[in-house]
């Protein structure tokens, strides 16, 4: 993707810096500091920051599933009064993520027009991709964390003492199961659609799309008899899968050539997505117009720039998931 090299912005095709011999290899995130309730060092002795009202800001893009999963935890944990949210414009272009209206990011930085300004404020010599989500410290004018998996877990716990919301989407008794699902889904599905869409060789594409649909077939079989990935309980693993699936038919099936089957061809997965989309608070985190416009505007995979008119997302019909035993999260509440 367009990137910074030694603090200098270099415009290029989306994902260009992450292509190796025709295959897409995602660049790891770089900023991984943690926020905890009290800001004490973690078990490994690494410094953390304290959870404080108004100190942090979440930067997201409606297109991006990685940003979307952080946004969902933000919403489900009731963090709206504590952590501000800022959306980029819909299209990821030569200048990366941009803000058509300059964004207030706190007293230590001028209003932001380009997302990469947040990275330069954090490290003036930064080299690498400029991605969302970003969890930003308004007090210190720097990025705290830009890894969506970390941000989800920060939001799951760090602010509970301020919100009183102790619903737990990653409970300790299920941690091993959740981590196993996250690992499996990440490689074949979350990142699998990108491996297919950005492939620059037939072999790389064939491998990616085969892995993807083998995983979707296995998920269909599992969710036909299990309410959620980890069984009866709705966890972060479901939200990490959901943000890819809800984009599948309107974006990945077309522009990323993930077209062996559609999501609507999978009865269990389709009903699963409808249940999660209809979960209180989630609907407003999914911006279908941004998703469609954003993906079809990526020049390297859709040179014409023509945005497809369909299909319309099938998310409002009743789902059939109540036939399966499930507790949601009401029984996954940490003791105060």
**Catalytic positions, please?**
64, 194
> Which helix or strand (DSSP H or E) is residue 311 part of?
none
3-state secondary structure at position 20: strand
d(CA 280, CA 87): 21
Closest to 228 (Cα-Cα) out of 142, 169, 315: 169
- Look up residue 311 and give its two tokens: 């299909």
Closest to 58 (Cα-Cα) out of 129, 128, 152, 127: 152
d(CA 150, CA 236): 11
3-state secondary structure at position 188: helix
Per-residue CA distances from 23 to 15, 183, 260 (Å): 10, 20, 20
- Look up residue 79 and give its two tokens: 């963090």
Both ends of the chain: CA-CA distance in Å?
A: 44
d(CA 84, CA 19): 34
d(CA 298, CA 305): 7
Q: Which residues, including other chains, have CB under 8 Å from residue 309's CB and lie 6 or more apart?
A: none
Closest to 212 (Cα-Cα) out of 241, 232, 236: 241
């Amino acid at each position: 993707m367009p990137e910074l090299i030694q603090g200098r912005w270099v415009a290029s095709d989306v994902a260009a810096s992450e292509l190796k011999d025709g295959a897409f290899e995602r660049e790891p995130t770089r900023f991984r500091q943690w926020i905890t309730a009290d800001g004490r060092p973690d078990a490994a002795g690494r410094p953390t920051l304290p959870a404080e009202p108004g100190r942090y800001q979440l930067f997201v893009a409606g297109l991006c599933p990685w940003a979307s999963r952080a946004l969902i935890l933000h919403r489900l944990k009731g963090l709206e009064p504590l952590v501000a949210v800022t959306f980029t414009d819909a299209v990821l272009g030569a200048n990366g993520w941009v803000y058509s209206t300059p964004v207030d990011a706190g007293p230590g930085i001028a209003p932001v027009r380009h997302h990469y300004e947040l990275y330069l404020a954090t490290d003036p010599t930064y080299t690498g991709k400029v991605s969302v989500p970003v969890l930003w410290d308004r007090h210190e004018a720097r990025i705290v964390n830009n890894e969506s998996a970390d941000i989800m877990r920060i939001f799951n716990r760090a602010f509970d003492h301020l919100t009183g919301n102790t619903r737990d989407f990653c409970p300790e008794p299920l941690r091993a199961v959740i981590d196993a699902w996250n690992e499996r889904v990440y490689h074949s599905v979350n990142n699998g659609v990108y491996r297919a869409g950005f492939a620059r060789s037939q072999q790389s594409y064939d491998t990616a799309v085969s892995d993807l649909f083998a995983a979707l077939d296995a998920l269909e079989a599992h969710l036909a008899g299990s309410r959620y990935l980890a069984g009866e309980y709705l966890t972060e693993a479901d939200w990490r899968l959901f943000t890819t699936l809800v984009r599948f038919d309107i974006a990945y099936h077309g522009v990323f050539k993930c077209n062996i089957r559609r999501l609507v061809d999978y009865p269990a997965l389709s009903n699963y997505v409808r249940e999660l989309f209809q979960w209180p608070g989630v609907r407003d985190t999914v911006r279908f117009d941004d998703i469609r416009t954003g993906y079809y505007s990526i020049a390297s995979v859709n040179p014409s720039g023509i945005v497809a008119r369909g299909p319309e997302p099938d998310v409002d019909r009743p789902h059939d998931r109540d036939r399966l035993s499930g507790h949601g999260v009401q029984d996954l509440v940490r003791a105060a």
